[in-house]
């Protein structure tokens, strides 16, 4: 087994998730490459040397341009704010290096398109961390659909709801279009659009009925920043001392976006993302209905998949809850014994394993989204925003 040196570009909230994954993948799996946590990049204010020590990276850097070109680095992994995805990704591709990137793929559709085209032209492996594909229950849903257990799919309903962005949360990069690209649409709808595309195999042809709203239009600007993460710390949320005189920043992204779609199969669907859905911490999931059966998934119960088998006799039809924690389910056999549940962090570890498989020319456990795949999801998200602004049907062929 040869080593592959990983460079992590970004030292915020997602940097922790990825650091844990690259540290765990060699322990739970037997990948064809041994992942080495070589260097983490962060701006000086993030103190990447402190992050490196805590998360066991061998080196730290404040110069990403030199880092991605270094002959020592075999894989570049990008977890910066959205507007900073494209520059290091394109530089890594130009250097001929495989590159992985957090979702959404970029802050703008143009950047997403250029990243996808660059990877295709250079014939460089690319990956986007749509980690929910690696939830065993979601991977099983993909398998059931592929086996025909649902028959012809006629309807898809997907939601991703959170409540963290109330008016007490201060202004950060996540609330500005210049740095985030979009709000709940890019942050949350991106996941469920990818997840349902993955499970069904469908592509979206048209978008209509879109509503995109900013609920909290101004937020207090305080000295602390979230460091790239969702704001949860009480001191950060409310600031130190009296913040009544704090300046206000204009929120330029959506807090909630809902839209309807028509798929290339003829099926119909709906998507909803919200950051102020009180009472919802992180339920993202779907209900998919077919002529022979149906499935439901909710990430707050991530180890379970609900399945309805319409082919059974009427008197015994009903929803069955499948606990997806047995060794026969995707990835589970590499973690704990049957019935021992896994968590959010395992989705990243499982994806790190699949990335290493792909880099070795082997088939991943389930399909990996590359830059072009993520660009297709970005086109759907853009179509939803155009639809909301222009109040008309938007064909995906219009969005390039």
User: What integer pLDDT is reported at residue 46 of this predicted model?
Assistant: 83
- Strand duo 268-274 + 284-290: pairing: unpaired
Decide if 48 contacts 15 (C-beta within 8 A): no
Q: Sign (positive/negative) of CA torsion 154, 162, 130, 1?
A: negative
For residue 104, CA distances in Å to 192, 273, 377 come to 12, 14, 9
Residues 6 or more apart in contact with residue 266 via CB below 8 angstroms:
none
Confidence at residue 226, expressed as pLDDT on a 0 to 100 scale: 43
What integer pLDDT is reported at residue 244 of this predicted model?
62
Do you find a cis peptide bond into 66, omega within 30 degrees of 0?
Answer: no
Nearest to 8 by CA among 81, 93, 83, 100: 100
- For residue 33, what is the enclosing H or E element? strand 33-41
> What's the distance, CA 230 to chain centroid?
14
pLDDT score, position 220? 87
One pLDDT digit (tens) per residue for the chain, 400 residues: 799 999 999 998 899 999 999 999 999 999 999 999 999 999 988 899 999 999 999 999 999 999 999 999 999 999 999 999 999 999 999 999 999 999 999 999 999 999 999 999 999 999 999 999 999 999 999 999 999 999 999 999 999 999 999 988 888 888 999 888 899 999 999 999 999 999 999 999 999 999 999 999 999 887 654 444 444 444 444 444 455 667 889 999 999 999 999 999 999 999 999 999 999 999 999 999 999 999 999 999 999 999 999 999 999 999 999 999 999 999 999 999 999 999 999 999 999 999 999 999 999 999 999 999 999 999 999 999 999 999 999 999 999 9
Domains of the chain listed by start with CATH number: 2-131 (3.40.50.720), 135-370+375-389 (3.30.360.10)
The confidence score (pLDDT) of residue 247 equals 85
Over the range 111-145, which residues count as b (16 or more CB within 10 Å of their CB) and which as e?
A: bbbbbbebbeebebbbbbbbbbbbbbbbbbbbebb
């Amino acid at each position: 087994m040869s080593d592959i040196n990983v460079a992590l570009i970004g030292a915020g909230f997602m940097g922790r998730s990825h650091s844990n994954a690259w540290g765990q993948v060699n322990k739970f799996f037997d990948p064809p490459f041994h992942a080495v946590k070589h260097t983490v990049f962060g701006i000086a204010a993030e103190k990447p040397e402190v992050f490196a020590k805590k998360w066991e990276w061998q080196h730290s850097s404040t110069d990403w341009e030199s880092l991605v070109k270094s002959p020592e680095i075999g894989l570049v992994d990008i977890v910066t704010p959205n507007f900073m995805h494209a520059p290091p990704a394109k530089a890594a591709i130009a250097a001929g290096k495989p590159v992985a990137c957090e979702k959404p793929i970029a802050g703008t559709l143009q950047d997403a398109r250029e990243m996808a085209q660059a990877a295709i032209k250079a014939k460089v492996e690319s990956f986007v961390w749509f980690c929910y594909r690696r939830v065993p229950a979601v991977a099983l849903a993909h398998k059931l659909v592929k086996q025909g257990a649902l028959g012809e799919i006629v309807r898809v309903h997907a939601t991703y709801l959170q409540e963290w962005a109330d008016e007490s949360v201060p202004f950060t990069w996540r609330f500005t279009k210049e740095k985030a690209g979009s709000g709940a649409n890019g942050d949350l709808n991106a996941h469920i659009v990818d997840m349902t595309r993955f499970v069904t195999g469908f592509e979206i042809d048209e978008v209509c009925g879109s509503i995109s709203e900013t609920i909290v239009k101004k937020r207090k600007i305080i000295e602390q920043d979230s460091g790239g993460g969702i704001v949860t710390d009480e001191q950060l949320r409310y600031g130190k001392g009296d913040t009544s005189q704090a300046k206000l920043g204009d929120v330029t992204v959506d807090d909630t976006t809902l839209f309807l779609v028509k798929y290339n199969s003829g099926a119909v669907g709906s998507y909803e993302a919200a950051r102020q859905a009180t009472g919802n911490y992180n339920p993202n999931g779907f209900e998919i209905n077919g002529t022979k059966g149906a499935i439901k998934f909710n990430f707050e119960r991530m180890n379970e998949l609900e399945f309805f088998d319409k082919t059974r006799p009427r008197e015994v039809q009903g929803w069955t809850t499948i606990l997806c924690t047995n060794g026969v389910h995707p990835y589970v056999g590499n973690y704990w014994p049957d019935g021992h549940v896994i968590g959010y962090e395992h989705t990243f570890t499982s994806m790190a394993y699949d990335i290493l498989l792909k880099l070795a020319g082997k088939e991943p456990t389930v399909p990996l989204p590359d830059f072009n795949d993520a660009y297709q999801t970005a086109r759907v998200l853009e179509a939803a925003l155009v639809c909301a602004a222009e109040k008309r049907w938007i064909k995906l062929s219009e969005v390039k």
